[in-house]
Structure 1
Amino acid sequence: MPSPSVAEAAEFHSRALDALRQPLESGHVVIARAAGVVRLPARFLMVLAANPCPCGRHTLHGAGCECPPSVIRRYQARLSGPLLDRVDLRVEVEPVTRCDLLGQGGRGESTAVVADRVRQALERAAARLADTPWRLNSEVPGQELRTRWQAGPGALAPAERDLERGLLTARGLDRVLRVAWTVADLRGRDRPEALDVAVALELRTGIARGAMSLPGAGT
């Protein structure tokens, strides 16, 4: 069989993309027809990739992007705010450097090392959630995370300020908290502290807070 075609997220119709919002939120999809209503499980991991403009060179200095501003706005608007509000991690990918292409850059951790850390984090989360209906941080309702399993004193202060400033929605705050718990599990901590929340916020908003560049920020 031919392999499926792959396209940037912004190449899809906005209505098709927005149809993913309910399954992402509830973990199921509802199909209503004259004969009845069917509710089907639809829990999945969504990974989106998009260029900044149709030609892909809008943010590259000296790259010669000729896309008119109106075209760039329409292209980016296909990823609606409500859909992006359901995306936990947002990472801007920089162009590959010459050193990276020629293998002259520093080598990162091996897959085995990362896999072992992820396994340990999953075990920590499973032990914490053993007597609950949930097994992963992503499944835990925000209300439970705010009341039953609380972050360290003052850890959520930056996220609460972002909420007041309109940089985060209530849904976004819950998702930041879930990611902060995952970061804490990856670091072997009992609960999220200020640095864990800072990492989650930076991954959510794209606003540099110094957390990602700290030694051991990803571990």
Structure 2
Amino acid sequence: MSLAILKSRALTGMEAPEVTVEVHLANGLPSFTIVGLADTEVKEARERVRAALQNARFEFPARRITVNLAPADLPKESGRFDLPIALGILAASGQMPKEKLSHYEFAGELSLSGDLRPIRGALAMTFAMQRSGTASGSRTAFILPSDNAEEASLVDDIAILPANSLLEVCAHFSSNEEEQQLKQHTGRNGFETSSYPDFAEVKGQTQAKRALEVAAAGSHNVLMSGPPGTGKTMLATRFAGILPPMTDEEALESAAVQSLTGHFEASRWKMRPYRSPHHTASGVALVGGGNTPRPGEISLAHCGVLFLDELPEFDRRVLEVLREPLESGHITISRAARQATFPARFQMIAAMNPCPCGYLGHASGKCRCTPDAVARYQSRISGPLLDRIDIQIPVQALDQEELMKPSASESSAAIARRVAQAYALQHHRQGKSNNLLLPPEIDAYCKPDEKGEQLLRQAMVRLNWSARAYHRVLKVARTIADLAEDAHVGQRHIAEAIQYRRALQEP
């Protein structure tokens, strides 16, 4: 029978459902048809596969070729189906054995010469293979391009067989068990990680560094406001270096999202991602989208840092799309034909000038902005978004003497040790970071003493806080107490937390 059946996978958001590639050869006028809700990229596989087979010295059958990608109602896109389609034609025409094909899954884009090119989402595909293999009790090997082997091998219990060309894959199936050509990839051995910029390079700004330490320990969001050139961007770029070490689960989730865009780098394994989109970015670029939904900046920053410089310069409608992900930790993109959910548990670090010229409150007295102009500029950031930012601090310019002194700042490694200790304390006590505490848990773990509660009441009345702001101050105070290794939230912890929620400077 001129029929071959192989397995591959599609991508829908973070999921990779199984796709059955059925290749049938029949008599009739020569033709090549691909059915099964295939996108343009998939339909173009006809020409790539034809040229790859001919240049690899195989015979392209002059018969009626029908390729079905099942299930028919699942959209398929990209060139990852080139390899299984080519192998299916060879197996159906008797040019290679097909008895062992059911024990493998295949993905890879073919060049016209028959070489294999890398694909997007290899890690998401191996994740799905692991889950389905665990459920069914079977284990399947995965054949894919060599350039994708490192990311795919991050998932345990899956045999990854990288190949450089169609000929290598065919040789693997034509040899016996002892002479198999493709060798299993060894996994994470040899990964070399990069390093973060160091806080020791930042002169002065003791208060801002302390606030960022608190933010790192409790996973709090931060807004820094100050004149240009005060070091806001420099501080933000070093923030990822003091965050707690990534767990294997966090590293895999982050790498899986990077894999969906084809930008996974083995050198950044277990490094917190740092994303800094320009203020001209659209809402779709920030949260993700498209006809085939893909992750945006907030998902690419999952388990890491999203830095928004010049915050008021972003379109206000773009900033408003951040409100829900900041609370929920994920984003759901809905389209008429499909829906995709991406993780988006990130820490937002934002920076802004206090006024249009940037020098409001500066010692030089340069600012000439009118009160109306300052109010319009600051109102570009809505109250609901500000309410979700736990720590709001001013960053003042350094005087000349302090700027010209040699740097004697504390290193990122020293700060990171304190952060990791406080973070571990939170997970031992409540199983999560302080920023993720729910209202009943806040009452249980963040209740201040009598003097602290009295101070908090006075601040609430004077500053007219919302319920969300009240809870966020308590969570910041709990983090400050954890850094001090105090079991209870006291007055001094509340006082410091209140200082970190200072409103934008009045004109």
- TM-score normalised by the chain length of structure 1: 0.81
In the TM superposition, structure 1's runs of 4+ consecutive aligned residues that sit over 4 Å from their partners are 3-7
- Secondary structure in 1 matching 2:394: coil
Distance 1:57 1:150, change over 3 A: closer
Greater C-alpha radius of gyration: 2
- Please tell me whether residue 202 in structure 1 is matched to residue 504 in structure 2: no
CA distance in 2, matches of 1:152, 1:64: 44
Q: Aligned-pair RMSD on alpha carbons?
A: 2.4
CA distance in 2, matches of 1:147, 1:187: 19
- Please tell me whether residue 40 in structure 1 is matched to residue 337 in structure 2: no
CA distance in 2, matches of 1:147, 1:39: 32
Q: Structure 2 unaligned runs (5+)?
A: 1-275, 280-308
Deviation of 1:204 (Å): 1.3
CA distance in 1, matches of 2:352, 2:388: 16
CA distance in 1, matches of 2:421, 2:410: 16
Q: Would the aligned equivalents of 2:452 and 2:491 in 1 still touch at CA under 8 Å?
A: yes
1:189 partner letter? D
Q: Would the aligned equivalents of 1:167 and 1:205 in 2 still touch at CA under 8 Å?
A: no
Correspondence for 1:174:
471
CA distance in 1, matches of 2:353, 2:445: 40
Q: Would the aligned equivalents of 1:163 and 1:170 in 2 still touch at CA under 8 Å?
A: no
- Please tell me whether residue 141 in structure 1 is matched to residue 438 in structure 2: yes
Which deviates more from structure 2 when the two are superposed, residues 151-160 or residues 16-25? 151-160
Which deviates more from structure 2 when the two are superposed, residues 13-22 or residues 164-173? 164-173
Distance 1:28 1:126, change over 3 A: same
1:90-127 deviation line (CA, Å, top 9, x unaligned):
1101111112210168x343333322211211121121
Which deviates more from structure 2 when the two are superposed, residues 155-164 or residues 134-143? 155-164
1:55-74 deviation line (CA, Å, top 9, x unaligned):
11122244332334333222
Aligned pairs for 1:107-186 within 5 A: 107-129=408-430, 134-147=431-444, 150-186=447-483
CA distance in 1, matches of 2:403, 2:318: 36
Correspondence for 1:212:
none
CA distance in 1, matches of 2:445, 2:277: 44
- TM-score normalised by the chain length of structure 2: 0.37
Q: Would the aligned equivalents of 2:393 and 2:502 in 1 still touch at CA under 8 Å?
A: no
Aligned pairs for 1:53-64 within 5 A: 53-64=355-366
Q: Say how many residue pairs are matched.
A: 200
> 1 or 2, which has the higher strand percentage?
2
CA distance in 1, matches of 2:428, 2:488: 13
Which deviates more from structure 2 when the two are superposed, residues 134-143 or residues 57-66? 57-66
Distance 1:12 1:195, change over 3 A: same
- Secondary structure in 2 matching 1:46: strand
CA distance in 2, matches of 1:187, 1:147: 19
Aligned pairs for 1:20-99 within 5 A: 20-99=322-401
- Secondary structure in 1 matching 2:347: coil
